[in-house]
Amino acid sequence: TDTRGNSPARAPSRPPRARRPPRSPKSAQPRSQVSMKRATNSAHFVAVASTRLISSPQSAFQDSKLDRACEAIYELCSASGYKHVAKEFPHTVQDLHAVYVTYISLDSSLHMKLWRTRYSLLLWLGVLLLNPFDIKSIVEDDTTFIAGLFQSCSTALKDAGPTREAAAFCLATMLNRKDVPAVYLEKLVRQTAVLVERLTTENKNAFQTLGAVETLAAIFKRGDRTWLLLIARKAFEAIRPCFENWECGSFRSLKHVAVKLAARVGISVLKPRSAPWCYSRGKRALLENKFKILDERKDHIEDESDNHENIGLEDGRFQDMLESVMETLLRAIVDTDTRIRWSGAKGIGKIASRLPRGLADDIVKNVLSLFDDTGSRDDDNAWHGSCLALAELGRLGTLLPVRLPEALSALTAAITYEFRRGNHYVGAHVRDAACYVAWAFARAYAPKVLAPHLPSLIEGILLTAVFDREVHVRRAAGAALQENIGRQGFQIFGDVGIKLTQALSFFTLGSRDRTFVEIVPAIAKLGYWELLFRKIIKERIRHWDSPIRHLAAKSLYALVSSIDDKATRHGVVHRVILMLSDLVGQSRDLASRHGSLLALAHVTQALGTLDSNHLSEKLSAIVPRLEAARFYRGKEGSLVRIAACSLIAALASCGCQLTVKAQLRLLDALDHSSSHAIEAVRIAAAAAARLLTTSYFAISNSNFISQPGERLLSRIVLKYIGAIREPATANASRGACNFLGALPARLLIADDSTLDAIVDALLVRSYRQDVVAGERDAETRRDALIALKHIVSAIRSRHLTESRVLKLHSAFVQSACHDFGVDQRGDVGSWSRIQGLQAAVNLSAVLHHRRKKARNGSKDRIVPCLVGRAIINSHLVLAARPFISVNSRFRWGGGESEELCCALLRNMGEQLDATRSISLLLMPEFFQHAPAVPRKKQIEVLLFTDAKKRDIPGRLCACLVLGGFYHDALLDGLIQSAGCGDSKISCEFRHALVQQAVVMSKSLDYADRIGLAKALMLKVRALNRPVPAWSVEERNRFHLPFLRCLAALVDAGALHPIFQTDVKGSVATGSLAYHLVSSLSTLIASPRLAKQVSKTCAAADSLLAVLSATAATSPLLANLSLAALVRSLTSPFPRIRAYVAEQLYTRLIELSIVNECFLDTEKLSLAQVLLGNAAWGVSTCMFHLEDTVSQLTQALVINNDDVDIQKPARRTPQRSDELDSYTCLVRDAGY
């Protein structure tokens, strides 16, 4: 025998293979090929290993090693496909009988468990049957073997899983062998006909029918044509019922395979040669396009090709069947299933390439007619299937150059296809298929054929690659563009084509924003400016999707900005304004109005300055026309409002010449949008108001500051102050805050009373206890803080007096940073905390800037008295009146810096990622501006030194050594993150906190050892009684995380120093431990906590941790904690009783092995028995558990006075109402 175990008499060994050339390194191979090679190599190793597991099994065979090997093979097949993996199976002929016997000997009782094993063995049998040797020389009884394998595979065709596919592969391989009798193939065809008929009439045996049709399809793919011609008509008639009820069929997989089989049946009855009249480019190379035009076959051979004897039907009897097949395939390309359309298109292309030219041309005309049919305009499936068929016809040469103009006309229409269906548009798959058609044409035709049509084709592909909404369509168009330029248009486009292909690469087209904003200007410089401009103006700004309209406006801005010549730019802007200004006020289409407004706004901004009075009047009249036509109303009217605000902002930014009446009219339009219910509208209105008031209401010269008139103040400032003080709705309050924050300094500092009124009104709205329209509003608090931040930046340090700074600092640090409001949206107080931190850091930066100026000699800061007006040169200016003597010096001291630094440190340890990241970013900025921060150097070293080596939780926990207020602030934040749950970040914070606490507990300094314990004890006391500094939200938010962290710290031994001495001694640590345990006992027994199950269970966990920590060192502390735990067993809530009993039972088991425990083993065992036998989680009355609790107190040596059973109050029977049951029914139904 040879090295593979083959006998020379039976199966001679194969000749030695030629030595392969050295392979290229893996880095140079595509990733898909490398992964495919790895998968196939793994399959080969697994399959070779599994050969050793095949012996001579008996009935009910099962081998765990074989099962695991087959599971590995199935996973590889799932990843790479069974066709690639099956090639690597061992194909030694003597394995055939062993694998077959192994398959039929598998334990039938484990049918569902061993399906992977059967799947792998069937694939292996299929590969072994490909062996060219006669089957009689491989097995002893070939008749029995063939009959048994046919029966086994037929049975496996009933499976609903992958085993059916493997059985179809194995059965098709066997029936394609010449030494297998044809009777089995005829039997399979008859079975298929019966199964299909039964499925269409009785809806039975769906998977078995699918498996039988799959087997026939595989046979017709690789079978001998001599045999296939004998069963072709029978096979087609067997599957014909699948196509009779085409529209209402539900089993789509069967139809897909049936279409495949029909196409292969049609191919099998035709002569296996491509028609000589088909177009062929012959041999071609990419580099040769630059130097010469390749020779190609002439079209004059059409005269002699129609009567060629080597093409057409093999037998005239199949003509009617071939017509039925073509009818089926033409119906398949308009099916609703993509797989069916794709199979039908491939079948049409292959059959047409073997037909005479006249018949093939009829097929081409039939496919092209679908693009011109008005009835199929709204049928996206028909367009998609026709594009696929067109690509196949062109790829196989059936679409001759004579039909190319019609095909390219259809391609131009398909590449922009989009049809509205309900509230959305369809057509992305049609455009993707059209790009595939363009790609196929570039490879199918010579440059001379496509040259007349190439410029228009490139333009259509280019616009799709740049402006399409879907990323896969853009990338498909980019690939088609590269193919057409590389193979067809190098002589036409030259270097421009190379630059186009580089700009429209696979990765650059992946981002839609980047394509619209960055790629469009780059392509415009290559000579396509006018083409892109027309596409944006006529289509993209009117797109149905609002993000596309926004991107189109930005792209238009980039196009206009790319024009260097100022006169040309003015001409383009004038052209756009004249085209779109009338469309905004007249069009009833929302997309057109919205897109036109956005385009006008961006084009006006791109211009820079607008000097034309005619264009200014035309643009300023757009917004009043919108209001008069009531275009703000209706669905998505908010989009028009936002676009109108953008237009007003653009007019103000470019210095448009407006009359006073027009200015006030635009201001009124913004005023109406300021109280809109949608936040995006309010933000857009505030941004436009900032530019409008700055451009037209903040006129100043170099010597004087013009003072606003009383009418202007009442029209703008006082109006919004009143809206803040007495808001009609919460939206009105939010909008007023946004508007006040957007006002320029000239209107803010009109006089001291105005500025104080603005600041006071905003401060009132920023407090966490503030109520707007009857309820607390988080958005109003956030917007008020943002407005105060903008006002501080606008008025600068000159008008920041001591009283104002103290008010602002208190609002930012003491109020906003302690806003822990929660509603159904979650932690809405984080909005105020973030804005408060940013505003406080901004305030310190502004004051630091003034402090630098003070070093130049100025000692006092005084505020001008803005009174007295005079008219000079028709401008309103401030009369020269001396400053009033108001000492406004405020030195930002260490106390303010420490308070703000504590707020930053606390928010660094918060639960939310946004709060942590913003606080971490604000800390360096604060250190840069703040003049005096206690322990600044230490904080910088702990937080920012070696930041890459340590994570944020570890750095923050290291800052606990700072002590003082820093310690308390950090501990509050760390507890919130460490005890909020079991997320990854919570576990990291909890681990870092426990590690730092353990390190501090081992410190030599006594104050460091008990510092954390003191802080924890004070916080437990704060939970027991109200603390003025804590709000109700803060207390509720802090309660549960603190108890969880306390339990973790005690379990880790971080509080071990305070549990060393018994409380009877006079040592301070003992007194501290006693107060901690007594506070926990009081907390778990408080009526306020009794109804909160999670918090009560967390408090019980803390007491259980104390019990374990003090069992051997402090009996009195252990007894106190144990008494509190037994008291919690008397809770009226079953969940609390069950949880405490279960955890206490576990702890008592642990105490039974502790040396020097304060309780002996007998008492602990008795307590465990009592805890285990009682039904603590049953919703019964507590009177049944009184005896168990009393026995527990005696067993654990607990004073009965320390355990007070909480007896539930007896309910007095009430008179029942006849409507009670109906009320419960309505409530349970959710009404």
**DSSP per-residue string spanning 596-665:** HHHHHHHHHHHH-----HHHHHHHHTHHHHHHHTTTTSSTTHHHHHHHHHHHHHHHHHTT----HHHHHH
Distances 956 to 473, 901, 906, 973 between C-alpha atoms, Å:
48, 13, 9, 10
Contact call for residues 1042 and 1019 (beta carbons, < 8 A):
yes
Of the candidates 224, 252, 262, the one whose C-alpha atom is nearest the C-alpha of residue 340 is 252
Distance CA 425, CA 130 (A): 50
Query: What's the rounded mean pLDDT across residues 483-488?
Result: 89
- Exposed (0-12), middle (13-18) or buried (19+): which is 949, by Cβ within 10 Å? exposed
pLDDT in tens, 603-612: 999 988 887 8
Distance CA 675, CA 672 (A): 7
Residue 908 token pair:
């660094």
Give me the pLDDT at residue 891, please: 63
DSSP state letter for 517: I
Confidence tier at 1202 by pLDDT (50, 70, 90)? low
Give me the pLDDT at residue 503, please: 92
Structure-derived torsion over alpha carbons of residues 656, 658, 662, 666, reported in degrees to the nearest 10: 20
- Residues of the chain with pLDDT > 70, as a percent, come to 82
Res 895 pLDDT > 50? yes
Res 51 pLDDT > 70? no
Three-state DSSP at 1060 gives coil
Query: CA geometry: angle at 848 spanning 845 and 853, to 5°?
Result: 135
Res 747 pLDDT > 80? yes
pLDDT in tens, 579-636: 898 888 778 888 999 999 999 999 999 988 887 888 888 898 999 999 888 888 877 8
Distance CA 1094, CA 1136 (A): 8
Residue type, 228: L
Give me the pLDDT at residue 860, please: 40
> Residue 893, Cβ neighbours under 10 Å: how many?
11
Contact call for residues 1037 and 973 (beta carbons, < 8 A):
no
Residue 1198 token pair:
């607990």
Distance CA 765, CA 785 (A): 9
Residue 526 token pair:
């290559």
Q: Which residue has 């008509």 as its token pair? A: 233
- Exposed (0-12), middle (13-18) or buried (19+): which is 534, by Cβ within 10 Å? exposed
Give me the pLDDT at residue 290, please: 43
Mean pLDDT value across the chain: 82
- Of the given ranges (112-116, 225-229, 671-675, 1030-1034), which has the lowest mean pLDDT? 1030-1034
Task: Using a cut of 0.85, tell me whether the model's pTM lies above it.
Answer: no
> Residue 348, Cβ neighbours under 10 Å: how many?
31
DSSP state letter for 11: S
Q: Kindly state the helix (H) or strand (E) to which residue 226 belongs, with its residue range.
A: helix 225-239
Contact call for residues 1185 and 1174 (beta carbons, < 8 A):
yes
Residue 59 token pair:
């009935």
Give me the half-sphere count of Cα atoms (radius 13 Å) on the Cβ side of residue 558: 21
Q: Where are the beta strands (DSSP E) in 1011-1154?
A: none
Q: Which residues are 878's β-sheet partners?
A: 869
Query: What's the rounded mean pLDDT across residues 1045-1053?
Result: 89
Residue type, 203: N
Contact call for residues 995 and 957 (beta carbons, < 8 A):
yes
pLDDT in tens, 1071-1127: 678 888 888 888 888 877 777 888 889 889 989 998 888 888 888 888 888 888 888
Distance CA 343, CA 781 (A): 62
Residue 12 token pair:
């001679």
Distance CA 765, CA 781 (A): 6
- Distance from the Cα of residue 633 to its chain's centroid: 32
Of the candidates 971, 969, 905, 913, the one whose C-alpha atom is nearest the C-alpha of residue 943 is 905
Residue type, 14: R
- Exposed (0-12), middle (13-18) or buried (19+): which is 248, by Cβ within 10 Å? exposed
> Residue 756, Cβ neighbours under 10 Å: how many?
14
DSSP state letter for 1129: T
Q: Kindly state the helix (H) or strand (E) to which residue 1037 belongs, with its residue range.
A: helix 1032-1051
Residue 29 token pair:
């191979």
Res 842 pLDDT > 90? yes
pLDDT in tens, 790-824: 999 998 878 888 889 999 999 999 999 989 888 88
Confidence tier at 459 by pLDDT (50, 70, 90)? very high
Contact call for residues 758 and 791 (beta carbons, < 8 A):
yes
First vs last Cα of the chain: how many Å apart? 83
Distances 28 to 479, 543, 784 between C-alpha atoms, Å:
22, 43, 59
Contact call for residues 92 and 4 (beta carbons, < 8 A):
yes
Contact call for residues 730 and 688 (beta carbons, < 8 A):
no
Confidence tier at 36 by pLDDT (50, 70, 90)? very low
Give me the pLDDT at residue 1023, please: 78
Distances 484 to 112, 328, 1064 between C-alpha atoms, Å:
53, 33, 93
pLDDT in tens, 965-1010: 888 898 889 998 888 877 888 899 999 999 988 888 888 777 777 7
Residue 605 token pair:
């901004």
Distance CA 1040, CA 1036 (A): 8
Of the candidates 710, 717, 707, 612, the one whose C-alpha atom is nearest the C-alpha of residue 667 is 717
